[in-house]
């Protein structure tokens, strides 16, 4: 069945989040809020709403998130900021909830970082599973410059990727780094030429989307459980996942195809 963004619900600021389906099994979500992919409250909520809708679509097996023009996202709108305790708590709840939803999603999520990726936009990228940066991209956590810091899970996610020293270097100085430095820091997994970023990310997503959705989801779940709960918790998740996937039709098809020396034909529907 062909997809149409018109079939999706329309939360507030939905025009800032545009979804398309450029490859089989792959959804492309573009942050189009102006200026520079700014993440107002309503944009964050719309982004999370789109994510849930895509998760519910069994034909979607991988998601690419990117920005438009000169930025992936420069983070929150400083004009939204308030010193009221209620606002501070709500902002933390909305931002952390969005990033947790990205991490918890059954979908592998690829952040294609075009242009500036700063502040809350950079934290959002950290919550994605794979980060691919355009060669001209710049990434940073400049919140200290306005008397804030990378909350919404930024102080927890960044050191898990780059280590304590480099995380504190970036957080405490507010400096931005180039795509090549980000690759060296292990903050991104790949760097692509600017003009090839989107096709590179979509090709990568399409490769993942070829494999059985339950197996892909199990891989992601086991990694996340181990990172959160430790080695033993990760092993327990592996045992459970191995039983669930090993008894399924995709495992049988994979074994049979290997023995018959042919490409496997997997059922790519997620588990119900």
pLDDT score for 3: 42
pLDDT score for 229: 93
- Asked whether 27 and 54 are in contact (CB, 8 A), the reply is yes
Count Cβ atoms below 10 Å from residue 257 Cβ, excluding itself.
14
CA distances from 70 to 19, 32, 64, 65, 78 (A): 19, 11, 17, 15, 19
pLDDT score for 84: 57
pLDDT score for 94: 76
pLDDT band at 86 (very low <50, low <70, confident <90, very high): low
Q: Per residue in 114-154, pLDDT tens?
A: 999 999 999 999 999 999 999 999 999 999 998 888 888 99
pLDDT score for 244: 82
Please determine, for residue 41, whether its predicted confidence score (pLDDT) is greater than 90.
no
Q: Which residues pair with 20 in a beta bridge?
A: 28
pLDDT band at 1 (very low <50, low <70, confident <90, very high): very low
Q: Which residues contact 161 (CB under 8 A, 6 or more apart)?
A: 126, 167, 185, 186, 187
Coil, helix or strand for 104? Answer: helix
pLDDT score for 253: 72
pLDDT band at 270 (very low <50, low <70, confident <90, very high): low
pLDDT band at 11 (very low <50, low <70, confident <90, very high): very low
- Asked whether 74 and 67 are in contact (CB, 8 A), the reply is no
Token pair, residue 82, equals 């308030």
pLDDT score for 90: 59
5-209: CATH homologous superfamily?
A: 2-enoyl-CoA Hydratase; Chain A, domain 1 (3.90.226.10)
Q: What is the mean pLDDT of residues 237-265?
A: 79
Q: What is the pTM of this model?
A: 0.86
pLDDT score for 4: 37
- Asked whether 263 and 257 are in contact (CB, 8 A), the reply is yes
Provide the residue ranges of all domains of the chain, joining segments of one domain with +.
Answer: 5-209, 213-259
End-to-end CA, the chain: 19
Q: What is the mean pLDDT of residues 210-219?
A: 91
Helices marked H in the chain:
41-55, 85-104, 120-127, 154-162, 164-173, 179-184, 197-209, 213-229, 231-246, 249-259
Q: Which residues contact 113 (CB under 8 A, 6 or more apart)?
A: 66, 67, 72, 125, 131, 132, 133, 134, 137, 139, 179, 188, 197
Q: How far apart are CA 167 and CA 162, in angstroms?
A: 6
Q: What is the mean pLDDT of residues 48-68?
A: 96
Rounded to the nearest integer, the mean pLDDT of the chain is: 87
């Amino acid at each position: 069945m062909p997809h149409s963004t018109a079939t999706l619900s329309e939360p507030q600021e939905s025009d800032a989040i545009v979804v398309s389906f450029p490859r089989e099994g792959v959804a492309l979500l573009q942050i189009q809020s102006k200026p520079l992919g700014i993440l107002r409250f309503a944009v964050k909520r719309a982004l999370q709403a789109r994510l849930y809708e895509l998760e519910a679509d069994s034909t979607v097996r991988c998601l690419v998130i990117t920005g438009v023009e000169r930025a992936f996202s420069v983070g929150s709108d400083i004009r939204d900021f308030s010193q009221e305790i209620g606002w501070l708590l709500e902002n933390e709840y909305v931002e952390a909830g969005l990033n947790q939803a990205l991490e918890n999603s059954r979908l592998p999520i690829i952040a294609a970082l075009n242009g500036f990726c700063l502040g809350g936009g950079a934290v959002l990228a950290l919550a994605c599973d794979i980060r691919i940066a355009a060669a001209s991209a710049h990434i940073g956590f400049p919140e200290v410059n306005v008397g804030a810091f990378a909350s919404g899970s930024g102080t927890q996610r960044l050191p898990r990727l780059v280590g304590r020293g480099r995380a504190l270097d970036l957080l405490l100085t507010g400096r931005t780094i180039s795509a090549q430095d980000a690759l060296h820091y292990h903050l991104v997994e790949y760097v692509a030429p600017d003009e090839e970023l989107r096709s590179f990310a979509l090709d990568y997503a399409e490769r993942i989307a070829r494999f059985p959705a339950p197996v892909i989801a199990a891989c992601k779940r086991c990694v996340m459980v181990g990172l959160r709960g430790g080695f033993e918790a990760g092993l327990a998740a592996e045992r459970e996942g191995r039983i669930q996937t090993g008894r399924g039709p995709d495992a049988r098809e994979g074994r049979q195809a290997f023995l018959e020396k042919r490409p496997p034909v997997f059922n790519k529907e997620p588990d119900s």
